[in-house]
Amino acid sequence: MKLAVLVNEGPYTHQASDTAYQFTKAALEKGHEIFRVFFYHDGVNNGTRLTVPPQDDRNIQKRWTELADKHKLDLVVCIAAAQRRGLLDENEMKRHGKDANNIAPGFRISGLGQLIEAGIQADRLVTFGD
């Protein structure tokens, strides 16, 4: 089955991100295809490379990055939600005259069209968070 995943909550503030990660990992292990993981609303905070959790805590961003690298996942962060929360890639940094970017490896910034496409292309769109 081809699945798309929508993550609407940020790491460390809601269980949705952990659950979405575990779901995605389990689906891949069972042989399902993940068409795309789309991060929206506070979920875009999963894609910042500046997260530094305590050593004895899970590193949710690192988990997503490693899963994406291993399975060639498309991790897409909503551009409007990302800009509101100060998450920028190299292009957006330059476009807005900022001096740094903070997008994590494996993530990319794009528009809501990517979510619409995921919903059309996948057999199921599974949503985590409000």
The DSSP letter of residue 104 is P
Q: Which of 6, 44, 78, 87 is catalytic?
A: 78
Residue 99 has a pLDDT of 95
The predicted pLDDT at position 96 comes to 95
Query: Residues 32-55: pLDDT tens digits?
Result: 999 999 999 999 999 999 999 999
What is the number of domains present in the chain?
A: 1
pLDDT band at residue 97 under the 50/70/90 scheme: very high
Which residues make beta-bridge pairs with 78? Answer: 110
Reported as a single tens digit per residue, the pLDDT across 57-78 is 999 999 999 999 999 999 999 9
pLDDT at residue 44, as a whole number: 98
> Where does the pLDDT of residue 9 fall: very low under 50, low under 70, confident under 90, or very high at 90 and above?
very high
pLDDT score for 55? 92
Question: Residue 32's pLDDT is what?
Answer: 98
Model confidence band, residue 23 (pLDDT cutoffs 50, 70, 90): very high
Name the residue range of residue 90's domain: 2-128
pLDDT single digits (tens) 79-88: 999 999 999 9
78 part of the active site? yes
Give the DSSP letter string of 32-75. Answer: -EEEEEEE-GGGGGGGBTT----TTS--HHHHHHHHHHHHT--E
Answer whether 76's CB lies under 8 Å from 36's CB.
Answer: yes
Domain at 110, CATH number = 3.40.1260.10
The pLDDT value given to residue 21: 98
